[in-house]
Structure 1
Amino acid sequence: MAGHDGSSSSFVETVAGFTAGIVSTLCLHPLDLIKTRLQVDRSSSRVNGSLRVVRGIFQNEGGVKAFYRGLTPNLIGNSTSWALYFLCYSNIKTARWTWCRSLEEELTSSDYFLASGAAGMLTSILTNPIWVIKTRMLSTSSRIPGAYASFTTGASQIYYSEGIPGFYRGVLPALFGVSHGALQFMAYEKLKLRRIKKTFTLASDDDHAEPQQVRWRELGNLDFFVMSSLSKIFAGCVTYPYQVLRSRLQTYDAHLIYRGVQDAIVQIWAKEGVAGFYKGLGPNVLRVLPSTWVTFLVYENTRAYLPDLISRA
């Protein structure tokens, strides 16, 4: 599999995304659970929300172990999503880049946005059933009657009680959320290109240095750290409310409370105000930034070193 053909590139992108999803989930699952509990909380109280949730889980649901409820669907969902996402995004971007290259053009912000958006839509549709199960497991204690005991139990219960449509609850907000990833990757790619251009330096300070003396310095982990942070914060500030809507619509009793996306928006606005759309933002920021760092650092490093490992195999 050595070489740089399309199949090798696709394999590297898939493995890099899959690995990044697993590592980031294992590291940060408890924060994801806390964020989900806050997102589905319909009370108007926002006082000590995160501490209240943490204390309740620890005291009433079985201690530290309870913070890892729903780990299996989260692992399956994140690893699969990132693998599919990077695979599709890379192929779409490469196809567009080949076209632009023939026209002697560069990829624009809209090219990155559209490539990321298309990859995100496909990934969201294919993985939404996993996220429904994950949200329901994370949003409830395992001690509540009817709570899913495992990933497979959840899948079978949804199928027999709600049918196929049950697996696609919250898919509209999830598709809207594609804009988050599109904005993030657009910003990340443009920051990356800007940084890459700045890393072209002369081999010497001689003003008469030949073009051949221009050398390339690869981007380092600090570069990826900063760029991933800035792009995530930018995208998060714009699109966070969709996550709250998606979580509300994916809970066990959502069909008894909301008639759809529009009704959920109206109810949240009427009962909780603007702040209701940003519930869980605190732990989400704490979760997504480390998650983003881990995901992109693992992805970029796996992507960089995996081809050498494959060629030596």
Structure 2
Amino acid sequence: MADVVKDLTSGTIGGAAQLIVGHPFDTIKVKLQSQPVPLPGQLPKYSGAMDAVKQTIAAEGARGLYKGMGAPLATVAAFNAVLFTVRGQMEALLRSEPGVPLTVQQQVICGAGAGVAVSFLACPTELIKCRLQAQSALSSSAATGAVKYGGPMDVARHVLRSEGGLRGLFKGLVPTLAREVPGNAAMFGVYEALKKTLAGGPDTSKLGRGSLIVAGGLAGASFWAFVYPTDVVKSVIQVDDYRNPKFSGSINAFKKIFATEGVKGLYKGFGPAMARSVPANAACFLAYEVTRSSLE
């Protein structure tokens, strides 16, 4: 129980650090992912990441970069507490003896298991976040019939009332699982491998903060590099119009994006996602490790 409490506390603090550092990048990522395909002869709403930043600040101020942060901030404690606690409990199950370091392969398994658990928290949270982040891009297309939301609770009320009740909040669960399970498997596996490399052996307890920042940042980048097209599919499904949907499911969304925009369409917003992943996950892992060590 003591280890559970430590992981809960450390995961919460790590998640808060990750969110504060990374949310503006995430907002731009979602805007680029969800903007409508321009009609023939027309330019897209955003020409790229920097253009999206400029337009967002011009229209909404700097606060626009933090739009949709309320939903993940409200659940960041639960999300990261579950992620690191499930991972910690799986570590305990796989460890042959107390205190024995796990192999990289075992950390991959722990990450995958944690990914399953957090998917059920991530899906409704990200649906609300994506709706808020994308509404300015979607509103430029009259064909979308986009709903204007006043905030996270307004999104939740609308979905519960008009989009199938509780089931509506879990729209996009399949691609969320397809992102979180392999993504977290890769992230925790890479994190462990890098820590052991930087430590020069299996004992990573003496690593300095600089090494933890490097390992955490690159581990976070591996998450997105491994599963990014799945995240694009998740985003477009979650912001798709309920009454007049463009996509019938995850596979259909993947096929349509690929058919109309090619491989490039499956990597819309990849630059902001990668730019976010390094500092945000570096902050998360550093905050987690420092907090966890202070509780020992």
**TM-score, length-scaled by structure 1:** 0.82
Structure 1 36/143 Cα, relative in aligned 2: closer, same or farther at 3 Å?
closer
- 1:252, CA displacement in angstroms? 4.5
Q: Is there any run of 5+ residues in structure 2 with no aligned partner, and where? A: 140-145
> CA RMSD, aligned part only?
2.5
2:13 to 4, 13, 19: 19
State whether residues 142 and 148 of structure 1, in contact with CA within 8 Å, keep that contact through their aligned partners in structure 2: no
Written as runs of structure 1 = structure 2, the 5 A alignment for 1:247-262 is 247-253=235-241, 256-262=245-251
Q: Which residue of 1 aligns with 2:171?
A: 169
State whether residues 199 and 217 of structure 1, in contact with CA within 8 Å, keep that contact through their aligned partners in structure 2: no
Q: Which residue of 1 aligns with 2:281?
A: 292
Report the Cα distance in structure 2 between the residues aligned to 1:277 and 1:112, rounded to whole angstroms: 28
Amino acid at match of 1:55: K
Q: Which residue of 2 aligns with 1:119?
A: 114
Q: Does 1:133 align with 2:128?
A: yes
Q: Which residue of 2 aligns with 1:181?
A: 184
Report the Cα distance in structure 2 between the residues aligned to 1:138 and 1:153, rounded to whole angstroms: 14
CA deviation profile, 1:102-143 (whole Å, cap 9, x unmatched): 9xx974433222221111111111332111111111111399
Q: Which residue of 1 aligns with 2:2?
A: 8
State whether residues 109 and 190 of structure 1, in contact with CA within 8 Å, keep that contact through their aligned partners in structure 2: yes
Q: Which residue of 2 aligns with 1:53?
A: 52
State whether residues 6 and 292 of structure 2, in contact with CA within 8 Å, keep that contact through their aligned partners in structure 1: yes
Report the Cα distance in structure 2 between the residues aligned to 1:94 and 1:268, rounded to whole angstroms: 42
State whether residues 31 and 137 of structure 2, in contact with CA within 8 Å, keep that contact through their aligned partners in structure 1: no
Written as runs of structure 1 = structure 2, the 5 A alignment for 1:135-214 is 135-141=130-136, 146-162=147-163, 163-177=165-179, 178-198=181-201
Amino acid at match of 2:256: Q
Q: Is there any run of 5+ residues in structure 1 with no aligned partner, and where? A: 1-6, 201-215, 308-313
Report the Cα distance in structure 2 between the residues aligned to 1:224 and 1:12, rounded to whole angstroms: 19
Structure 1 264/142 Cα, relative in aligned 2: closer, same or farther at 3 Å?
closer
Report SS of the residue matched to 1:269: helix
Report the Cα distance in structure 2 between the residues aligned to 1:236 and 1:21, rounded to whole angstroms: 17
CA deviation profile, 1:236-266 (whole Å, cap 9, x unmatched): 3222111111111110416611010111011
Amino acid at match of 2:55: G
Structure 1 142/36 Cα, relative in aligned 2: closer, same or farther at 3 Å?
closer
Structure 1 143/124 Cα, relative in aligned 2: closer, same or farther at 3 Å?
closer
Report the Cα distance in structure 1 between the residues aligned to 2:222 and 2:118, rounded to whole angstroms: 22
Q: Does 1:32 align with 2:14?
A: no
Structure 1 185/138 Cα, relative in aligned 2: closer, same or farther at 3 Å?
same
Report SS of the residue matched to 1:273: helix
Report SS of the residue matched to 2:206: coil
State whether residues 76 and 130 of structure 1, in contact with CA within 8 Å, keep that contact through their aligned partners in structure 2: no
Number of corresponding residues: 281
CA deviation profile, 1:17-70 (whole Å, cap 9, x unmatched): 11111122123322211111011124276883112222322233x322222211
Q: Does 1:229 align with 2:217?
A: yes
Q: Does 1:263 align with 2:252?
A: yes
Written as runs of structure 1 = structure 2, the 5 A alignment for 1:60-71 is 60=59, 62-71=60-69
Report the Cα distance in structure 2 between the residues aligned to 1:21 and 1:59, rounded to whole angstroms: 29
Question: Which segment is superposed worse, 121-130 or 48-57?
Answer: 48-57
State whether residues 233 and 254 of structure 2, in contact with CA within 8 Å, keep that contact through their aligned partners in structure 1: yes
Q: Does 1:218 align with 2:206?
A: yes
Amino acid at match of 1:89: R
